[in-house]
A and B are shown apart, each in its own frame.
Chain A
Amino acid sequence: MKITLFAASALALFVVCASVSGQSQAPAPPPAKKQPAAAKSTTADQDQKEGERRFLENCGRCHNPPESISPTEVNAVLRHMRVRAMLSAEDEKLIRKYLAP
């Protein structure tokens, strides 16, 4: 009986989480900010965005980004996370551009 109750609670928690996420997904995404025609993304900007995406995808599974990180520290931090989070060399390079551009 208790097992059933707890399994039901687990399911309810999961459903609540899923519905919260569903509600958050429901509204249409905000319109993209208008960019001046002259302000085309540079390769560096694209790398930085891709680095942010890879940070959220890999490192963000466990923790938030550090508030600040200096270029002197970033190499050791990324090497540490390359082993812990099994990052590829390309992940390391792009996340470096995001954390310490």
Chain B
Amino acid sequence: MLGTAAGLRAQTNAPILSGGVQFLSSTVGGNTFFQPAIAPVLVVPLGEHWLVESRADLRGFISHENGSTGPYSGQFIASLEYLQLDYIANAHVTVTVGRFLTPFNIYDERFTPFWIRDLQDAPIIFPIGTRTSGSNNGLMFRGVIAARKAWEVNYTAYFSVLSTTENLQSGRTAGGRMGVFFPLAGAEVGVSYQRFLQDVNYNSVGAYFTWQPPPIPLDVRSEYAHSPAGQGYWLEAAYHFSKSRGDTSRLGRLQGVARIQQFFKGTPTPGADLPLVDINRFDFGLNYYLPHDVRVNGSYGRQYSSAGNANVWEAQISYRFLFPALPGVFK
């Protein structure tokens, strides 16, 4: 009886408000800045096939007025990362209209939430394939082309229009991604393509690899990306100090992370948002997953470039929240 009641409740289309809050401290080459942030995620299911979902990022940026000296001053930055209407037609096709995260490689769609990513700094090559803002305004198709027990082929394809509206910037682009997931091995490989269609037309291409050996709490992720403005790769490994995934022992909540990345400059391109020098960088970090979806982490990185070498220290505390958006309406 209770089970039936719970099952019926589970079928309600109650909207939820989820997301994360954080306080991040970063020291880059001796300059320290702080970023308190909240990223609310709103999800509103509409019937069996429709869904409205949105995520915003509201953050403060507090730093010394003169780099590493002088009084602190702050500015407020707000952005709408996605606001999209999805129609789940069937297992093979979901149609999305609105503003959505650019499906180029995997970092933008999967690891931009600060309560999920293992290291707080985005990879150097993140701007490749995600200009102008990491989000697109337009139309996207995505789904699984075919799935078997040992493999699954997934895809996305999109077109985006130009938008210069504040907080809703988007480039005129077209592109897509195709990946093959091997569930038994816990591995996925894929490729991405984007054609930038405004001002200077150019292509960006990318490839990615992820691996989670099923019995071991190890995550290996990597991306490569190329554009006329530069190319590079990153490789990251994260390991929970336990024998299995989901271990909630004191040691099992601890995760060690390491990432190396390398960037090679190309032809300077307006709006590419990429460094103008070659960069090599490594990072090491520790994440500790406290009860109640609180996480603390710290990392150290060293960056080498002809513009100067720098140490990068980061410390963050974040909390992931989830509750009904309309409490009391859906019970």
Contacts and interface: CB of A to CB of B under 8 A. Distances in A.
11 contacts: A2-B304, A20-B239, A24-B215, A24-B243, A62-B111, A67-B293, A70-B324, A75-B11, A80-B51, A83-B86, A86-B144
A83 B88 contact: yes
Interface in A1-21: 2-3, 6, 9-10, 13-14, 16-17, 20-21
**A contacts with B: majority SS:** helix
Contacts of B330: 72
A93 B16 CA distance: 19
A42 to B, nearest CB: 12
Q: How large is the interface on A (under 10, 10 to 19, 20 to 34, 35 or more residues)?
A: 35 or more
Contacts of B216: 20-21, 24-25
Given A6-B280, A60-B245, A14 B235 contact: yes
Interface in B1-48: 6-7, 9-16, 18, 41, 43-45
Interface string A35-78: 00000000000000000000011001111111101111111110
Contacts, number: 129
B148 interface: no
B9 A72 contact: yes
Interface in A66-101: 66-67, 69-77, 79-80, 82-84, 86, 88-89, 96, 100-101
A57 B186 contact: yes
